[in-house]
Structure 1
Amino acid sequence: MSHPHPELSAPPALPDGGLRVIPLGGLGEVGRNMTVFEHSGRLLVVDCGVLFPEDHHPGVDLILPDFAPIRDRLDDIEALVLTHGHEDHIGAVPYLLRERGDIPLVGSALTLALLRSKLQEHRLRETVHHAVKEGDRIIFGPYELEFIAVNHSIPDALAVAIRTGTATVLHTGDFKMDQLPLDGRITDLRAFARLGEEGVDLFLTDSTNAETPGFTPAEKSITPVIDQVFRESKQRIIVACFASHIHRVQQVLDAAVAHNRKVAYVGRSMVRNMGIARDLGYLTVPGGVLVEAKQLADLPPERQVLVSTGSQGEPMSALSRIAQRSHNFVHIEEGDTVLLASSLIPGNENAVYRVINGLARWGARVVHKGNALVHVSGHASAGELLYCYNIVRPANVMPVHGEIRHLLANAELARATGVQNVVVAEDGVVVDLVDGVATVSGKVDCGYVFVDGTTVGDVTETDLKDRRILGEEGFISVIVVVDSVSGKVSGGPEIHARGNALDDATFDDIRQPIIDALDAAMRDGTTDSYQLQQIVRRTVGRWVNNTHRRRPMIIPVVVEA
């Protein structure tokens, strides 16, 4: 098994007939999935998603894949294939289309419909869309693509087989093997087996649940729990889930009909996505069950159901505002039931529990994954992955979609079934498939690209470090006036602190040491204002650290009089 190595150099030229795989996101984190394939001088991109920021990304709205390695080759892209409609697979498409607006987009009807509304939000013109379904084959340049039905937590997910004439690659996208899916559309293991018989040279497999033993439970296993919540609730029910989880919303609608309740959507993305799903036939809405959110107030509490965004504790989401009692028209009352029907994305735990505590404080009963079976994963567990390796029997395996621990766990599963060559790579690590053997050939520079408001890519890791320091330690400003003629301090230092427990009087002990340090430096011939500022920064920083055990940001200003 080969592992990524930080000392890898740029990859050499790709040999004739070879296939190059360049992951630009999704290998080393759960999100921002994007993989670039190169063959005969042409590129094929599979997925282009976003990663949502965590607490150590202050002020960041989204994190994108790094397009830099392919920026000078955008005209070589034959197509962008989208395996399904989740944000971590389609969310960055508008940002790529800003750089080349006519890239052909390939995906299922639902995936493209969800993307189309996103492009409208970004005010991007309609590009060429190729709607495909399982069983379809389509050719782009040197790539022949075949699409295979896979089951996931959103309808219409697809795996893609990529044939180049010299190699066959099978990319699962996100998938699981629910044998009793709500929509009756199962993962097509017969197609997987057929491809295995033909010969799969490289198998790229979803790693998200590789550490979880056994098989992922069926979506239908949640239905009795939802029914029980509806049966036991005497007042209003609020269900929070992902705005793309059409199957979960279908279960809620069916339960509402069975218990004579009306349903309203809360949250812009929920209203938009469920409207798209209904129009395309992926969501069945029984007549009379759906009403506008503000109309629910006219009904008694025991007939109300709200389906809301905010299952991850997002601060501006509908559920967070409800928990803070700052929502326009939804106010939690004693005896209401809140159902968090989703998983906890790693890093969101504190935010979610903050919302749960806020809801409980107002008297709501909160049902969540910690106390009831209200969510099942959309990803294949270890037993399903083993099953797939045994029926596909690939020559080479490259785990994708997951943190490094997930990739390594998936690699061990592949090796356990007898796969001889397993390549573990991370973002930017280039893997070449030449003469039937996959090997790491080098690395491209590939980092995080931060979206901050309307700014894309201008925020750096250094900026985030500064923001974290400001948020955790505050800052101290020091203004000093020096006389360039006499070479002495003539005014100040004036010192102010913000964002910490230090008041201005605290700094009386350090004022004279600042003056002494500057006078000494100027006596020795230092006149450059930047060097004098550094002396102030070091003097104050050392004193604050030794005296108060703090490391605030220090902003020195030296003015020449």
Structure 2
Amino acid sequence: MSHPHLELQAPPALPRDGLRIVALGGLGEIGRNMTVFEHNGSLLIVDCGVLFPEEHQPGVDVILPDFTWLRDRLDKIAAIVLTHGHEDHIGGVPYLLRERADIPVVGSRLTLALIKEKLKEHRIRPKLVEVSEGEHRTFGGFDCEFLAVNHSIPDGLAVGIRTKAGLVLHTGDFKMDQFPLDKRITDLRGFARLADEGVDLFMTDSTNAEVPGFTTSERDLAPAIEKVFRTAPKRIIVSSFASHVHRIQQVLDAAHEHGRKVAFVGRSMVRNMGVAQELGYLNVPKGLIVPLDRLERLPDNKVTLVCTGSQGEPMAALARMANRDHKIRIGEGDTILMASSVIPGNENSISGVINGLTRWGANVVHKGNAKVHVSGHASAGELVYCYNLIQPANVMPIHGEWRHLRANADLAISTGVDPDNVVLAEDGLVVDLIDGHASIVGKVPAGNVYVDAQTVGGVTESALKDRRTLAEEGVVTVLAIVNADTGKLADPPDFLVRGFTHKVSDFDPAIPLIEKALATAAKEGIGDPWQLEQVIGREVGRWAHRTFRRSPLIIPIVIDA
């Protein structure tokens, strides 16, 4: 089994007719999925998603893949192939198209409709190429065949990529639901046909590799959802991913059956469900969906709201309702149906939202107390089935944290794949498929690129550290008027304290230390205000840590007397 090596450098030149695979996101994390294939001077990108920030990344909106490795070869990108319409697979596309706007964007009908709406916000008119299962298309030196896969959003695709180096099967996100709501099952016959041809590299979804057995069918949720609608005494508020068309369809069916009207809340929910309805992926009985202002005039037991915020996002509708920061006021007897799973890292945020909603008297139904969600990813039994069916020469687990990738690798080995042909990689590692064997040969930059409002890449790890310090330790500003020639203070420095529990007068003992440090700096010929600020900052920071066992952010300001 191949492992990452910290000593790896930039990869060597790719031999002619070889295939290079570089994941710029999605390995070692849930999200930011992006894989670049290189073959005979041409590049093919599969997915370009975003990762959502965690609590230790304050102020960050989304996290992008690092495009550094691509910037001097943007003209060689033949296409971006999108496997499905979830944000962790399409959210980064607008930012890549800012670098080169005419890259063809390839995907299924629904996927392209969703990315088209997203790109309108960025004022980008993309070059879209619609494909469907069973089609073949060639982009650069890549012959792509598209196969239907079942997931928690309609129109998911796997892609078979043929090159002179061999055949790669990339599953995207998938599961093997035998009774999907849209009756569109994963194309196992297509998988078997590729297996007969010989799959040289199998890249498969790892998210549920630790979960034994087979993933539950979406249909099995119907009784739990129906019970909520049958027993709820007042309003029902459903939170879900804005792209989860299948789940919203179940909610609409239940609402219609129980005589309730429905309104969508949240811009992304309104946009995505409008697209799904327009394209026929969402079947909406006439008169069921009404504007929010009309819904407010109906009796509570005739009302259903469908909103975003299933992951506890602070600015999403559900969290704002929990915090009494939304025009929809949660009250006694309301029922909240959280019809989604928990993305790793969001547990605390979701718990906070549930507590907030419960405080106002709501009954919160969630995955922990009712069967209201099933995963969109294949469990271990399905993965083993695929390995036995496909019998790939090489395997590269994708889409998952380290524990998921390793569990998927172990499943492959248990079905007979040679451990030397199982590539366990992480973001930025370069994998070459040459002469039928896949191996790690180097690495390229693949760090986090933070989006903060309209700024891309402006926020650094250092800035995030400062933000965390501000939140946890407070800030102390030291204003000093200094004679740069003598190194003496013209007046005692002023201390401005924010978010720090101690009084300004508590900093008086630091003044002699500042005076001594400035005198030493003067003797050494240090008189530049910026350098003196560093001297004061270090001295006050060390003193504060010794005295208070705290490390506030120190902001020194030196004015030359």
Q: Assess same fold via TM > 0.5.
A: yes
Instruction: Give the 5 Å matches for 1:290-305.
Output: 290-305=289-304
Tell me the CA shift for residue 275 of structure 1.
0.8
Distance in 2, matches of 1:13 and 1:326, equals 56
- Distance apart, 1:355 and its partner CA: 1.1
**Offset at 1:533?**
2.6
AA aligned to 2:37 is: F
User: What is residue 159 of structure 1 aligned with on the other side?
Assistant: 158
Q: Which amino acid aligns with 1:371?
A: N
Cα-to-partner distance string for 1:221-250 (whole Å, 9 max, x where unaligned)? 111000011111111100000000000000
Identity %: 64
Determine the C-alpha separation between the residues in 2 that align with 1:450 and 1:234: 44
Q: 1:104 and 2:104 equivalent?
A: yes
| Closer, same or farther: CA 518–372 of 1 in aligned 2, 3 Å | same
In the alignment, residue 210 of structure 2 is paired with which amino acid? Answer: E
Query: Following the alignment from structure 2 to structure 1, what is the Cα–Cα distance between the partners of residues 486 and 461?
Result: 42
User: Cα deviation per residue 1:36-84 (whole Å; 9 max; x = unaligned)?
Assistant: 0011110111000011111111111111111110111111111110000
Letter of the 2:354 partner, please give it. I
Aligned to 2:497: 497
In 1, the alpha carbon distance for the partners of 2:458 and 2:535 equals: 29
Deviations 1:116-163 (A, max 9, x none): 0001011112x2211111111111121111101100000000000001
Taking the aligned partners of 1:485 and 1:431, their CA distance within structure 2 comes to 59
Shift in Å, 1:310: 0.8
Q: Would the aligned equivalents of 1:496 and 1:503 in 2 still touch at CA under 8 Å?
A: no
Shift, 1:286, TM fit: 1.1
CA contact (8 A) 1:479 1:492 kept: no
Kept in 2, the 8 Å contact 1:493–1:515? The answer is no
Tell me which moved more, 510-519 or 30-39. 510-519
Match of 1:275 in 2: 274
Q: Which runs of 4+ in 1 moved over 6 A?
A: none
The partner residue of 1:385 within 377, 383, 386 is 383
- Give 1:18's aligned residue: 18
Partner AA of 2:294 in structure 1: Q
Judged with a 3 Å threshold, the aligned counterparts in structure 2 of structure 1 residues 546 and 78 are, in CA distance, closer, same or farther, namely: same
Alignment map for 1:314-393 (pairs within 5 Å): 314-328=313-327, 330-393=328-391
Amino acid of the structure 2 residue aligned with 1:142? G
8 Å contact 1:493–1:514 — kept in the other structure? no
Given candidates 387, 394, 397, the residue that maps to 1:399 is: 397
Q: 1:143 to 1:526 in 2, by over 3 A?
A: closer
Q: Deviations over 1:228-278 (max 9, x none)?
A: 111111111000000000000000011011111111111111111111101
Q: Give the aligned partner of residue 123 of structure 2.
A: 123
For 1:504 and 1:307, the matched residues in 2 are separated by 50
Residue of structure 2 in register with 1:60 after alignment? 60
> Could you tell me whether the CA contact under 8 Å between 2:486 and 2:522 is conserved in 1?
no
What residue identity is the alignment partner of 1:236? Answer: R
Amino acid across the alignment from 2:335? T
1:515 deviates by: 2.0
Q: Which residue of 1 aligns with 2:474?
A: 474
Instruction: State the partner residue of 1:286.
Output: 285
Shift of 1:217: 0.6
Distance 1:518 1:161 in 2: 67
Distance verdict in 2 for CA 1:486–1:414, change over 3 Å: closer
Aligned partners of 1:270, 1:386: CA distance in 2, in Å?
35
Note the C-alpha offset of 1:28.
Answer: 1.2
**Which stretch shifts more, 204-213 or 457-466?**
457-466
Q: Distance in 2 between matches of 1:39 and 1:320?
A: 46
Q: Secondary structure at the match of 1:491?
A: coil
Residue 168 of structure 2 contacts residue 199 of structure 2 at CA under 8 Å; is this kept in 1?
yes
Task: Report what 1:242 is aligned to.
Answer: 241
Q: Residues 235, 487 of structure 1: CA spacing in aligned structure 2 closer, same or farther, 3 A cutoff?
A: closer
CA distance in 2, matches of 1:485, 1:446: 47
Q: Quote how far apart the aligned CAs of 1:354 are.
A: 1.2
Distance 1:130 1:524, change over 3 A: closer
Kept in 1: contact 2:487–2:521 (CA 8 A):
no
C-alpha distance in 2, partners of 1:277/1:535?
Answer: 60
Is the 2:485–2:522 contact (alpha carbons within 8 Å) kept by the matching residues of 1? no
**CA distance in structure 1 between the aligned counterparts of 2:302 and 2:196, rounded to whole angstroms:** 55
Contact 2:484 2:528 in 1 (8 A): no
> How many Å apart are 1:524 and its aligned residue?
5.5
**SS of aligned partner of 1:537:** helix
Q: Which residue of 2 aligns with 1:185?
A: 184
Contact 2:43–2:140 (CA under 8 A) maintained in structure 1: no
- Distance in 2 between the 1:24 and 1:466 partners? 27
**Aligned counterpart, 1:254:** 253
Q: Deviation of residue 559 (structure 1)?
A: 2.4
Distance 2:236 2:183 in 1: 28
Query: 1 CA distance for matches of 2:434 and 2:88?
Result: 30
Distance in 2 (alpha carbons) for counterparts of 1:27 and 1:485: 56
User: In structure 1, the residue corresponding to 2:161 is in which secondary structure?
Assistant: strand
* Equivalent residue runs for 1:134-213 within 5 Å: 134-213=133-212
Structure 1 Cα separation of the partners of residues 558 and 458 of structure 2: 28
| TM-fit CA distance, 1:196 | 0.7
Structure 1 residue identity aligned to 2:278? D
2:70 corresponds to which residue? 70
Q: Which residue of structure 2 lines up, in the alignment, with residue 409 of structure 1? A: 407
Deviates more, 1:510-519 or 1:462-471: 510-519
Residue of structure 1 in register with 2:27 after alignment: 27
- Equivalent residue for 1:38? 38
| Alpha-carbon shift at residue 486 of structure 1 (Å) | 4.4
* 2:231 match: 232
Q: 1:536 to 1:290 in 2, by over 3 A?
A: same
Shift of 1:503: 2.0
Q: Which residue of 1 aligns with 2:459?
A: 459
Q: Return the letter of the residue paired with 1:305.
A: T
Matched, 1:450 2:450: yes
Against the structure 1 CA distance between its residues 189 and 524, is the aligned structure 2 distance closer, same or farther, given a 3 Å change threshold? closer
> In 1, distance between residues paired with 2:374 and 2:414?
26
How many angstroms apart in 2 are the aligned matches of 1:486 and 1:298?
75
Q: Which string of whole-angstrom CA distances, capped at 9 and with x for unpartnered residues, describes residues 509-536 of structure 1?
A: 2223322332344345543434433332
In 2, Cα distance between equivalents of 1:349 and 1:488: 53
**Structure 1: gaps (5+ residues):** none
Q: 1:165 deviation in Å?
A: 3.4
1:485 Cα deviation after fit? 4.7
Distance in 2, Cα, partners of 1:475 & 1:456: 26
The question of whether the paired residues in 2 share the 8 Å contact of 1:267 and 1:317 is answered with yes
Distance 1:396 1:520, change over 3 A: closer
Contact 2:165 2:433 survives alignment (8 Å): no
Gaps of 5+ in 2: none
Matched AA of 2:89: H
Secondary structure in 2 matching 1:144: strand
Check whether the contact 2:25–2:35 (CA below 8 A) recurs between aligned residues: yes
| Structure 1 position 432 matched with structure 2 position 428 | no
Alignment-derived partner of residue 91 in structure 1? 91
Summarize the Cα distance change of 1:161–1:538 in structure 2 as closer, same or farther, 3 Å threshold.
Answer: same
Q: TM-score, normalised by structure 1?
A: 0.98
Conserved? CA contact 1:489–1:519, under 8 Å: no
